[in-house]
Amino acid sequence: MDMRALIVDPGVPGALRLGGAPEPRPAPHQLVLDVRHISLNRGEVAFAGGRPPGTVHGYDAAGVVVRAAADGTGPSEGTRVAAFGAGAWAQRMAVDTTAVAEVPGQVDLAHAAALPMAGITALRTLRSRPILGRRVLITGAAGGVGRYAVQLAALGGAHVIASVGSAGRTGGLAELGAHEVVVGLDGVDRPVDLILDTVGGRQLAAAWALLAPGGDVQCVGWASDEPAVFAPHSLFSLGPSRTMSTFGDVTEVGPDLATLLEFLAAGRLSPEVGWRGPWDRVTEAAGALLGRRVAGKAVLDVDRTPALA
């Protein structure tokens, strides 16, 4: 008996379609989740066609535990959880117990599904150095990572500069905590201490020039189609070292996911769901993400019709 899932198919628009997939076979340290909602990340959508055909795609989900882990770790059957793990875009997924967090009763599971990848990325990159009283520049601030990063940086006491690609993408960022909202880097005329960059390309090189001594650029995405070209000698500066760091640490995210859910439950963090619909509209949702017509996250509701024979 197969379950339904969003699987990779390079022959269809967007390279994703609903199809059948084998039921998950959990390892002893994994639970099985009855998935109710999933969320899409732009990078997952953009590179779906590069994965093997038939792969169950995606990483972000929320639902109800239907089988607890055999080793006794993690939440019990019936617990509502948000989860991060491969193969999330399916009716059921097996996921490590270290990569889930219980969803507070007052939090909508659809909102919880929007958090894992984008929220963890924003939280962990901002935690790379102290931000209280510092100037933090967030590029691609209208996207999923960006909108969470704006909120979390403001909660951390930073002076937040939100950079977007066009004037039409500025909406709501001041309300989320941005002290300055700019298009590109126009108007940023003072050094910044931390940059969360999701754009790459020429803008990354330009942002580097704004970095204060001792500052850091956290590279978390590359929406641009261009390379970043640095002028001769531009990587040299006097004083404390400036650094450029990659980000990809998504190990044992459970405790950080729990923190984000606590913020959500307390009203200190907005889920920023900019698109929502049933999962049979995945091509539409993916197109909206790639076309930058979504402010924040796209969430799909999983159809719970019986599994395919």
**Taking a C-beta distance cutoff of 8 angstroms, is the pair 143, 298 a contact?**
no
- Chain position carrying tokens 């929007």: 114
What are the pLDDT digits (tens) for 58-69? Answer: 999 999 999 999
Tokens representing 60 are 């972000």
Last residue of a domain, one of 229, 246, 263: 246
Q: What is the mean pLDDT of residues 43-69?
A: 95
Same domain, yes or no: 147 and 205: yes
Same domain, yes or no: 126 and 239: yes
Same domain, yes or no: 277 and 220: no
User: Does 307 fall in a domain?
Assistant: no
Same domain, yes or no: 189 and 284: no
What are the pLDDT digits (tens) for 80-95? Answer: 999 999 999 999 999 9
CATH number at residue 128: 3.40.50.720
Q: What is the mean pLDDT of residues 3-22?
A: 94
Residue 125 DSSP label: H
Q: Please tell me which residue, 305 or 249, carries the higher pLDDT value.
A: 249
Distance CA 225, CA 217 (A): 19
Same domain, yes or no: 93 and 182: no
pTM comes to: 0.94
Q: What is the mean pLDDT of residues 82-111?
A: 98
| Structural domain range at position 203 | 119-246
Same domain, yes or no: 103 and 123: no
Total domains in the fold of the chain: 2
Q: What is the mean pLDDT of residues 101-118?
A: 98
Distance CA 130, CA 120 (A): 17
User: Does 261 fall in a domain?
Assistant: no
User: Does 253 fall in a domain?
Assistant: no
158 membership: H or E segment, kind and range: none
Q: Is 60 helix (H, G, I), strand (E, B) or coil?
A: strand
User: Does 306 fall in a domain?
Assistant: no
User: Does 71 fall in a domain?
Assistant: yes
Confidence (pLDDT) at 305: 79
Distance CA 19, CA 29 (A): 27
Same domain, yes or no: 100 and 149: no
Q: What is the mean pLDDT of residues 176-189?
A: 96
pLDDT above 80: residue 131? yes
Cα torsion 72, 76, 82, 87: sign: positive
pLDDT above 60: residue 205? yes
Confidence (pLDDT) at 121: 97
Q: Which residues contact 51 (CB under 8 A, 6 or more apart)?
A: 8, 57
User: Does 263 fall in a domain?
Assistant: no
CA end-to-end span of the chain, whole Å? Answer: 5
Distance CA 85, CA 87 (A): 6
CB under 8 Å, gap of 24 or more: what pairs does 105-110 form? Answer: 105/80, 106/265, 107/261, 107/264, 107/265, 108/271, 109/36, 109/37, 109/62, 109/63, 109/80, 109/82, 110/36, 110/37, 110/62, 110/273, 110/276, 110/299, 110/301
Q: Share the mean pLDDT of the chain.
A: 95
Same domain, yes or no: 32 and 60: yes
Q: Please tell me which residue, 225 or 134, carries the higher pLDDT value.
A: 134
User: Does 38 fall in a domain?
Assistant: yes
For residue 308, what pLDDT band results from cuts at 50, 70 and 90? low
Same domain, yes or no: 104 and 123: no
Question: Which range, of 71-75, 293-297, 303-307, averages the lowest pLDDT?
Answer: 303-307
Same domain, yes or no: 105 and 130: no
Residue 295 DSSP label: S
Tokens representing 64 are 């109800």
pLDDT above 80: residue 306? no
User: Does 203 fall in a domain?
Assistant: yes
For residue 268, what pLDDT band results from cuts at 50, 70 and 90? very high
Confidence (pLDDT) at 5: 97
Q: Which residues contact 228 (CB under 8 A, 6 or more apart)?
A: 200, 201, 202, 204, 205
Q: What is the mean pLDDT of residues 277-303?
A: 95
Q: What is the mean pLDDT of residues 2-22?
A: 93
202 membership: H or E segment, kind and range: helix 201-208
pLDDT above 80: residue 1? no
C-alpha closest to that of 133 among 114, 107, 159: 159
Q: What is the mean pLDDT of residues 244-273?
A: 96
Same domain, yes or no: 144 and 239: yes
Count of CB atoms situated within 10 Å of the CB of 157: 13
Confidence (pLDDT) at 178: 98
CATH number at residue 278: 3.90.180.10
Confidence (pLDDT) at 68: 98
pLDDT above 80: residue 116? yes
Same domain, yes or no: 159 and 56: no
